[in-house]
Every structure is written in C-alpha cells, then in structure tokens.
C-alpha cells in the first residue's frame, strides 16, 4: 500500500490531521513527519506570549503516525475506501523532554511491540530537526473496519 493512500484513509482532516508524510513503513515499524503550523488553533491560548505545542497534541501526532498509519498498513488486506475505520486509543504512556515550538518539524518513529486481534502496541518516539528526543513512550490502539452502509 502506498503511503499517500494510507494518509488518505486516515479518519482525520485539517485542523486535526497531524501527518504530512510517511517516510518509511514496514511490517516492523513506521516513521513520518509533521510540521506544526504557527497559526494552528491550539497556539492561541497555550501559553500567552510564549506558545508551545500542547503535550496532548504531541501524543496525538505520535498516535496518528505511529499507531493509526501503521495499523492501516498492517491491515492493508482488510482496508479499502469502502470501509469505515473505527479507531480507539486503548492506552498510552508518554514522557516529555523538550518543547515543540510553532513552525517546528518533527519526526515520529514507531516500532511494533505486538499486533494481534487488531490491537497494536508500539514504542514511539518524536525527534526534532536537531535529532533531539522530544518525547517517547508506548501507545496502544485498536483499529476496526466496518463496511459502509
């Protein structure tokens, strides 16, 4: 499955789509990039005069690239444009080390821990352009496909 097709199958759209490109993908992992635009809605109030990307948005970016894009790839035999994807985050544990500023580009790297019964658990990390660790953790989710009715 081509990476642009995977992104097109994501159940998100702007302003809540946090995947610009999938750099690499295989049966064992995925990496992708995203740039946080300076006019993103969440910067208006986080923090006054000194905006940084909220941790929940960093976690969502890691989940979209590291679990959802990866899960679509792993389920490629079962997924088509005729299916609706239902995504459920089942657990996450993330440690944060550096802030991400407006207009900053990050790379997300995800490594499969296990994938069974449509549940995917991954070790995920986010790096900035200086290759510094921004955050890392484990994220698990379920992906269910249903035929469109």
Task: Count Cα neighbours of 133 within 13 Å in the Cβ-side half-sphere.
Answer: 9
| Residue pointed to by tokens 């500023």 | 101
46, 119, 121, 136: the active-site residue:
46
Q: Which of 135, 149, 142 is nearest to 100 (CA)?
A: 135
Contact 36, 53 (CB under 8 A): yes
Residue 44, C-beta contacts closer than 8 angstroms, at least 6 positions apart: 51
Residue 46 is among the residues annotated as catalytic for this protein: yes
Q: What is the DSSP pairing of strand 105-116 with strand 29-35?
A: antiparallel
From CA 102, how far away is CA 141, in angstroms rounded? 28
Residues that are catalytic: 46
């Amino acid at each position: 499955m081509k990476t642009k097709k995977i992104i097109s199958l994501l159940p998100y759209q702007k302003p809540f789509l946090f995947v610009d490109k999938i750099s690499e993908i295989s049966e064992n992992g995925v990496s992708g990039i995203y740039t946080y635009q300076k006019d993103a809605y969440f910067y208006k109030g986080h923090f006054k005069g000194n905006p940084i990307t909220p941790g929940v948005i960093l976690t969502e970016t890691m989940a979209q690239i590291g679990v959802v894009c990866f899960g679509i790839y792993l389920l490629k035999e079962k997924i088509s444009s005729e299916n609706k994807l239902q995504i459920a985050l089942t657990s996450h544990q993330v440690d944060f080390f550096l802030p991400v500023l407006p207009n900053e580009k990050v790379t997300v790297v995800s490594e499969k821990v296990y994938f069974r019964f449509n549940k995917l658990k991954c070790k995920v990390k986010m790096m900035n352009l200086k290759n510094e660790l921004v955050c890392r953790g484990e994220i698990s989710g379920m992906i269910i496909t249903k035929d469109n009715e």
